[in-house]
Amino acid sequence: MESQFWHERWQQGQIAFHQPEVEKFLGAHFERLGLARGATVFVPLCGKSLDMLWLVSQGYQVVGVELSPIACEAFFSENRIEAATPVTEGPFRVHRAKHQPITLYEGDFFQLSARQTGPLAAFYDRASLIALPPAMRERYAEHFQREMLAPSTSGLLLTVAYQSNTFPGPPFSIPSEEVHRLWGERFQLEQVGQGEEVVGPPTQRISTAKSAWLLTPKAGR
């Protein structure tokens, strides 16, 4: 999707993808990554997700990237988190909480690298991969693995799958075969959670098969 698509979604308040509560698969499975307290967790295309607050409550530092300034500002204001004045760092406007370990990079994910964020112990992708059409998913996974991840970085990935010729996405359907193709060379993949989720705008609601995947680095990489 082009950046203008997401800017317009936030401007028009068309954000059905935003969950008003913490993702249940996050609480159920994230601890299996075995991270130390204080470890940095990266949240791509983070929006104003409440999942970031849950990660902080578990003792982690959170770094997110989000295209929309509306989303970045809403995250801090709606959760009453005092933030420092945003600063410009390269192509990004950076929002940092004053009293919590939360940093949001406002800008294009494809311009971000670990050189800016620092080392990442893990990532949590609830709504990034499924927000992208096929060609962009290829680019996303390639950039992620080349520019963002250390050899020891692990992750929790959520996907949805459905059969529908009438629902255009996002979210886009991602079968397990594609998860293995995009991530299987670098990671050991374990499908740890399955459920059902209804997605889409009110006039196009569809039921999807939702999956949670643990991604742990393969030995020797």
Of the candidates 70, 94, 62, the residue with the CA atom closest to the CA atom of residue 6: 70
What is the length of the chain?
Answer: 221
Cβ neighbours of residue 160 closer than 8 Å, sequence gap 6 or more:
130, 171, 173, 174, 197, 199, 208, 209, 210, 211
- The DSSP H or E segment spanning 136 is helix 134-143
pTM summary value: 0.93
Per the structure, the count of domains in the chain is 1
Cβ neighbours of residue 161 closer than 8 Å, sequence gap 6 or more:
173, 174, 175, 176, 208, 209, 211
CA gap 58, 51 in Å, rounded = 11
Q: CATH number, domain at 101?
A: 3.40.50.150
CA gap 118, 133 in Å, rounded = 28
Supply the range of the domain harboring residue 197: 3-217
pLDDT in tens, the chain (221 residues): 567 776 676 667 665 666 789 999 999 999 999 999 999 999 999 999 999 999 999 999 999 999 999 999 999 999 999 999 999 999 999 999 999 999 999 999 999 999 999 999 999 999 999 999 998 999 999 999 999 999 999 999 999 999 877 788 889 999 999 999 999 999 999 999 999 988 877 777 888 999 999 999 997 55
Q: Is residue 137 within 8 Å of 129, Cβ to Cβ?
A: yes
Of the candidates 182, 123, 108, the residue with the CA atom closest to the CA atom of residue 155: 123
